[in-house]
Amino acid sequence: MKQTILLLALGALSLGGPQPAESADADSAVYAQALASDARPEGDAARDAGRKPAEVLAFLGIRPGMSVLDMFSGGGYYSEILAGVVGDDGHVVAHSNKAYLSFVGEEFVARYAGGRLPNVDILMAENNKLRLDANQFDAVFMGLSFHDTYWVNPEAGWPAFDRKQLNATLYEALKPGGILGITDHYAVKGSGTTAVPDLHRIDKAVVIADLEAAGFELESESDVLRNPDDDHSQSVFAPGIRGQSDRFVLKFRKPQ
């Protein structure tokens, strides 16, 4: 398989520091191959332009052979891409819960039918019930979901999070030097969490403060998902803005 050849070629790559041009080209090929797979569900490719997964995962440093937790994985769009990138020598854990499953509908069932993603395990854990082994993952990814840790709606099956516990759990589950990648929707600067209930947006400063308090170090930020035409005043589900909201991308690291 082409993917196996790429994995063997990339096996000796370092995760940090500059890489030779041919190594960078090989990395790009891994992301491109994952997106170009004929096995991807039909609707996934239509989301790629708005989410730019190749650019996001390259920025975060997701590589073949890694063990990755896709937290709040929803219908599994990113879990499938991650599975292609980490390859047969890697492993993805796709976390979800009842509330997310009710939101995504049949997409989740179709995604995993017939064991079509053999290097992905599904982890169902309700709010405040997540339990993970220490030093388990090379990376944790939270796509457009950190704001949900501030959203509260018990009637919808979404009780308030113990955020300190959740962040500590993710910190412990990462190996030393492991990566926590966050994408989320920009709220008005200085607005804190006030935009979470109605707009599903969050002030980037809140995310940084929460995760640094948990021990993570902010390594870098990317503007790859910025949209200057979004004034942060609308719900991210509003017509015309859904799938095109202004988003931040943050790369945190657990210290060695």
Q: pLDDT digit string (tens) for 113-168?
A: 999 999 999 999 999 999 999 999 999 999 999 999 999 999 888 999 999 999 99
Nearest-angstrom CA–CA distance, 178 and 184: 20
Give me the helix-helix angle, 21-36 and 2-10, nearest 10°: 150
The parent domain of residue 111 ranges over 2-253
What does the chain come to in residues? Answer: 256
Q: Over the stretch 167-216, which tens digit does the pLDDT of each residue have? A: 999 999 999 999 999 999 999 999 999 999 999 999 999 999 999 999 99
Q: Name the pTM for this structure.
A: 0.88
The phi, psi pair for 120, rounded to 5°, reads -120, 130
For 68-77, how does the pLDDT look when each residue is reduced to its tens digit (9 = 90+)?
Answer: 999 999 999 9
Residue 112 half-sphere exposure toward CB, CA atoms < 13 A: 22
Predicted confidence at residue 26, as pLDDT, reads 52
Could you tell me if 182 and 250 are in contact, meaning their C-beta atoms sit under 8 angstroms apart? yes
Instruction: Count structural domains, the chain.
Output: 1
CA 66 – CA 64 distance, rounded (Å): 6
Q: Reduce the DSSP state of residue 186 to 3 states and report it.
A: strand
| Phi and psi torsions of 251, nearest 5° | -115, 110
The enclosing domain of 150 has a CATH number of 3.40.50.150
Q: Could you give the C-alpha distances from 240 to 52, 77, 138, 237, in angstroms and in order?
A: 18, 21, 36, 9
Q: What tokens does 124 get?
A: 């169902």
